[in-house]
Amino acid sequence: MKIFATYNIKGGVGKTATAVNLSYLAARDGYRVLLWDLDPQGAATFLLRIKPRVKGGGKALIRGTRSVDAAIKATDFDNLDLLPSDFTYRNLDLVLDAAKKPSRRIASLLSPLKAEYDVIFLDCPPGISLLSEAVLHAADTLIVPLIPTTLSVRTLDQLTEFISDFDGSKPSVVAFFSMVDRRKRLHREIVEQLPAERSDVVTAAIPALSLIERMSVQRAPVTASSPRSVAGRSYEELWLEARKRSGLPDPPDDAW
Amino acid sequence: MQQSVLRQFVLHGIDGAAPDKALKLPGSAFAVSAAARSTTMRRLWLDTFDWRLYRSGLTLEQVSSRGTTELVLTGRDGTVIATDHVVRRKAGASAGAGAGGEGGNGRVTRWPGPLEALPLGPLRDHIAPVVGVRALLPAARAVSTVHDWRVLNSDDKTIARITVDRMSVSYPAAGDAPARVAVTALRGYQAQAMRVTDLVAGLPGVSGGGQSGLEVALAAVGRRPGDYSGKIDVRLSPRMPAAVAMATLLNSLFDTIEANVNGTVRDVDTEFLHDLRIAVRRTRTALKLAGDVLPSGMAAKFRSEFKWLGDLTTPTRDLDVYLLGYPDMAAGLIAATPGELKPFHDHLKRSRAAAQRELAKGLRSARFSRLRREWRQALASAATSATRPSAARLAASRIARAHRRVLRDGNAITLTSPPELLHELRKRCKELRYLLEFFGSLYDPGEHWRAVRELKALQDVLGEFQDTQVQHDEIRAFADQMMAQRAAPAATLLAMGEITVGLAARQRQARNEFAGRFRDFASPASQSRIRTLIGAAA
């Protein structure tokens, strides 16, 4: 089982769109996938048409008084399940703070799901918190969307520095440019320059497209509703790169 | 990833082309998606000839759809126990031994075949102890056209799937099964899907159906799983005229013989011959011990024919016994190595192939065809006879007589008696056992079981005594044959010698156990059990 997390300190950079589309693509490839929407805003949950509610709320999940297993919902897509968001997730830091080894809590909650899933995606709320620290510890690969600006490159440096201080295993970082506007010169320059300079930034980039924004109207991943669109193909390229870098083994071959 | 079928239904009188018309869910908060996904599946159910999987609550199905072939093993409630992929045999790959040997890639989809034709894995491991030495055969074949609708809630989120499966059966006969509807809950939506189930259950033309796909396929062509057993399966009534009871029994035994002819001739597995042979032996015992109640001359006429049939089957079965026991025999060697025994194995296989050819020839012969025809005619006329005595009186007198003979012969055996006396006693025991089985339906099952129990223990020890003796003698004869054919290296003969030593030791052990077993069988309590049993029905 490989755990991916979409993460950025900044909000509104395309974390949820990335988590939903890459989860869908992994499921389509034949992996058994679980997406955990950890953001109390519940955007990923909404996109997959599921009610943002978990019995007992985040507290019961984190404390283990209710099993993760019982909260999981099937999506409309084969092989893709969702652990929904809940508004109580806004208090997860408090709950984690009261738990033993808070930074390892997410990893230990996911460990029993190893047999059932090949891939887990964690869609993380923005910010630096106890929750994000626990997610960074649980993840094997961090998928980091970056807006092509100088400032966002600085936040990537902060993140890699933060991870390098971790004890034991550290997640690998796959950063990519998101919401790229090719009409802007700065965007073009950064998108072309940075992947050449840094090994943790991949060339696959997601353009700023209204089709991606319209996902919230369609309530479906753009990779499912318009797989041949520019948006669909861009996510496809990103997933190929992320999958390769994560070392995820080939999916169980269904096409005997 | 879990999905669970909540309930299955049968659709009656629905237009086959548009079963979805029946699936409108009126007045509910749910909608059924307009378009259905349609899948065609070729389905093949596998089981042994004597339905070992079915009787153990297992269903093994090979499903082909969209270029993929999968084996699925399910339990009694339809839950999937194991699955495995099957690769279609490449054209021109050799078929190996029998009809289902291993292809170039080690996997086959052609049946019948041995268990070893299944890919190695949990599925095969699960059924291996159940299937034993039997081959897997097609139990039914069908093509399913499955339409799949999504049931949506108010968010247009799928909460359940409704599938309608229309199955067209092509084997064991052609027929169409009624459309079946299944409601499957998506994970996390069990409660809502249950409401859908209730709505579907209330639709006109829908009725509950908890049968497996195999049961439905067979029902569509007027069959049911589990309709063969090698055991005696006749219902006699105590007042039935004895001749009618015997004709009923003999007809049933001949059903078993005929059911196993094809598998024996085609050499599908060893148990066809085994069942056929037992049914022949039972027939011969019935003619010998109770043939006098049949129309005059009938028993005498057919006893010689059934002796011929029995003798025809002996060589192949004897060699089967060696070959089936060979792995244990080889593993039990102490001084010699299994490799040294290999020429003996080759010799057994060659001899068996020759014996099998003779057997198949005999079962295809005009003599056997005539026996089939004339025996059924004779039984049909015997079944109209209404003469006395009754079945219960016949059973009581013959069982009592056979019982007395076992006691008499057994009591005469001392520690110094020659082996022939024990062999004779074994035959008497077998006669008593068969009589108890023939008339078993006349008695209380519990008392019947208790009466048979001590007899069986005695038979086991006598069987071991004789079988080890026969095998000991035959291995020496095989050694002579192999020497004559120059097919026996010295190491092989030594290994065979070691096996005869083991057999002699087992025989001595059986001889030592005999006295105790016979004492139990001849005890006053055991004797009174037999008397009570036959007295109650007569």
Average pLDDT over residues A156-178: 91
Contact A238, A176 (CB under 8 A): yes
pLDDT of residue B17: 45
Query: Which among B123, B239, B206, B217 has a CA at the least distance from the CA of B166?
Result: B217
Distance CA B368, CA B362 (A): 7
Its ipTM equals: 0.84
Please tell me the total number of residues recorded for chain A in this structure.
Answer: 256
Q: In what order do the strands lie in the sheet with A172-180?
A: A73-74, A80-83, A33-37, A119-123, A2-6, A141-146, A172-180, A201-207
Residue numbers in B near A72 (CB within 8 A): 187-188
Hey, of A32, A37, A73, which one would you mutate to test binding to chain B, going by the most B CBs within 10 A of its CB? A73
Checking if the pLDDT of A35 tops 90, the result is yes
**With an 8 Å Cβ cutoff, is B376 touching chain A?**
no
B100 pLDDT above the threshold of 50: no
Which is higher by pLDDT, B21 or B350?
B350
Contact B146, B163 (CB under 8 A): yes
Q: Do B87 and A73 touch (CB under 8 A)?
A: no
- pLDDT of amino acid B4: 61
Residue A248's SS3 state is coil
Interface of B with A in 85-104 (CB under 8 A): 85-87
Residue contact B68–A255, C-beta within 8 A? yes
Q: What is the pLDDT of residue B98?
A: 35
Q: What is the pLDDT of residue B147?
A: 86
Give ranges for CATH 1.40.20.10 in chain B: 242-537
Taking CB atoms within 8 Å and a gap of at least 24, the contacts of B300-307 are B301/B378, B302/B371, B302/B374, B302/B375, B302/B378, B305/B367, B305/B371, B305/B375, B306/B280, B306/B371
State whether residue A171 is helix, strand or coil: coil
Question: Is the pLDDT score of A196 beyond 60?
Answer: yes
Phi, psi of B259 (to 5 degrees): -60, -25
pLDDT at residue B536 in the model: 65
Instruction: Please state which CATH class domain A2-246 belongs to.
Output: alpha beta
Q: B156 contacts in A (CB within 8 Å)?
A: 49, 219
The winner for highest mean pLDDT among B29-43, B105-119, B434-448 is: B434-448
Query: Which string of b and e fits A89-125 if b means at least 16 CB within 10 Å?
Result: beebbebbeebeebbebbbebbeebeeebbbbbbbbb
Which stretch of A52-66, A130-144, A208-222, B74-88 has the lowest confidence by average pLDDT?
B74-88
Q: How far apart are CA B246 and CA B292, in angstroms?
A: 10
CB contact under 8 A, A255 and B67: yes
pTM, two decimal places? 0.74
Closest C-alpha to B154, from B34, B29, B32, B27: B29
Cβ within 8 Å, pair B187-A72: yes
User: What pLDDT is attached to residue B101?
Assistant: 38
Output the pLDDT for position B35. 66
| B522 compared with B16, residue with greater pLDDT | B522
- Other Cβ atoms less than 10 A from the Cβ of A201: the count is 23
Q: Do B68 and A74 touch (CB under 8 A)?
A: no
| pLDDT number for residue B202 | 79
Quick one: closest CA in B to A76, which residue?
B158
Is B194 in contact with B185 (CB distance < 8 Å)? yes
Residues whose CB falls within 8 Å of the CB of residue B279, separated by 6 or more in sequence, listed in order: B230, B253, B254, B256, B257, B260
What is the DSSP code (8-state) at residue B113? B
Mutate to test the interface with A, among B1, B66, B107 (most CBs of A within 10 A): B1
Burial of B256 from C-beta contacts in 10 A (0-12 / 13-18 / 19+)? buried
pLDDT of amino acid A93? 92
State whether A73 and B67 contact (CB < 8 Å).
Answer: no
Residue whose C-alpha is closest to residue B192's, from B36, B78, B77, B31: B31
* Whether pLDDT at A253 is above 70: no
Q: How many Cβ pairs within 8 Å bridge chains A and B? A: 39
Write down the CATH number for the domain with range B242-537: 1.40.20.10
pLDDT score, position B91: 39
Longest CA pairwise span in chain B (Å): 90
Please state, rounded to an integer, the average pLDDT across all residues of chain A. 92
pLDDT digits (tens, 9 = 90+) for B427-484: 999 999 999 999 999 998 888 888 888 899 999 999 999 989 988 998 999 999 989 9
Asked whether the predicted pLDDT for residue A109 surpasses 60, the reply is yes
Query: What's the whole-number mean pLDDT along residues B269-293?
Result: 96
Phi, psi of A206 (to 5 degrees): -105, 120
Q: Does B156 touch chain A (CB under 8 A)?
A: yes
pLDDT at A214 over 80: yes
Residue B462: closest CA among B405, B416, B407, B511: B511
3-state secondary structure of A119: strand
Please provide the average confidence, as pLDDT, over all residues in chain B. Answer: 87
Alpha carbon B53 to its chain's center: 10
B463 closest CA partner among B494, B433, B486: B433
Q: Tell me the average pLDDT across A28-54.
A: 95
Residues of A in Cβ contact (< 8 Å) with B187: 72-74, 81
Residue with tokens 């090949």: A118
Q: 10 Å Cβ neighbour count for A215?
A: 23
Nearest to A106 by CA among A171, A24, A38, A23: A38
- Distance of residue A78 Cα from the nearest chain B Cα, in angstroms: 8
Mean pLDDT of B162-177: 91
Q: Which of A51, A79, A256 is nearest residue B1 as measured by Cβ atoms?
A: A79
Is A76 close to B150, i.e. CB distance below 8 A? yes
pLDDT grade for B16, boundaries at 50, 70 and 90? very low
Q: How far apart are CA B447 and CA B519, in angstroms?
A: 20
Cβ contacts of B291 within 8 Å, gap of 6 or more: B246, B298, B299, B300, B303
Interface membership of B157 toward A (CB under 8 Å) = yes
Give the distance, in angstroms, between the CA of residue B498 and the centroid of all CA atoms in the same chain: 35
Q: How far is A160 from chain B (nearest CA, A)?
A: 34
B415: CB partners within 8 A, 6+ apart:
B515
Residue of A32, A35, A37, A76 best to disrupt the B interface, most CBs of B under 10 A: A76
Window 174-203 of B: residues touching A by CB (8 A cutoff) are 186-189
Q: Residue A107: what pLDDT?
A: 93
Which pLDDT belongs to residue B532?
86
Query: What percentage of chain A exceeds 90 in pLDDT?
Result: 80
Interface of B with A in 57-76 (CB under 8 A): 67-69
CATH of B4-220, one of 2.40.320.10, 3.40.1380.20, 3.20.20.70, 1.10.3470.10: 2.40.320.10
For residue B46, the cross-strand partners are B60, B138
CA dist., res. B60 & res. B38, Å (int): 24
- Could you tell me how many residues make up chain B? 538
Identify residues of A whose CB sits under 8 angstroms from chain B CBs. Answer: 32, 48-51, 71-74, 76, 79, 81, 116-117, 219, 254-256
Read off the pLDDT of residues B326-375 as tens digits, 9 standing for 90 and up: 898 888 888 888 888 899 999 999 999 999 999 999 999 999 999 999 99
Question: Rounded mean pLDDT of B141-146?
Answer: 93
Average confidence (pLDDT) over A219-242: 95
The mean pLDDT value for B158-185 works out to 89
- pLDDT tens-digit profile of B193-245? 888 888 888 777 777 767 788 998 999 999 989 888 888 889 999 999 999 99
Tokens of A178: 């998101």
**Interface contact flag, B67 A72, Cβ < 8 Å:** no
Q: What integer pLDDT is reported at residue A256 of this predicted model?
A: 35
Confidence tier at B282 by pLDDT (50, 70, 90): very high
Q: Is the pLDDT of residue B103 over 60?
A: no
Residue A175, beta-bridge partner list:
A144, A201
Q: What are phi and psi of B410, to 5 degrees?
A: -70, -40
Q: Is A122 helix (H, G, I), strand (E, B) or coil?
A: strand
Q: Which residues of B touch A49 (CB under 8 A)?
A: 155-157
For chain A, the structural domain boundaries read 2-246
Of B85, B87, B157, the CB nearest to A50: B157
Residue B512 predicted with pLDDT over 80 = yes
Q: Which chain B residues are Cβ-neighbours of A74 within 8 angstroms? A: 3, 158, 186-189
Question: Residues A109, A113, A114, CA angle at the centre, nearest 5°?
Answer: 115
- Boundaries of CATH 2.40.320.10 in chain B? 4-220
Q: A18 vs A91, B168, B268, B473, CA distance in Å?
A: 24, 46, 57, 79
The region of weakest confidence among B157-166, B167-176, B249-258 is: B157-166
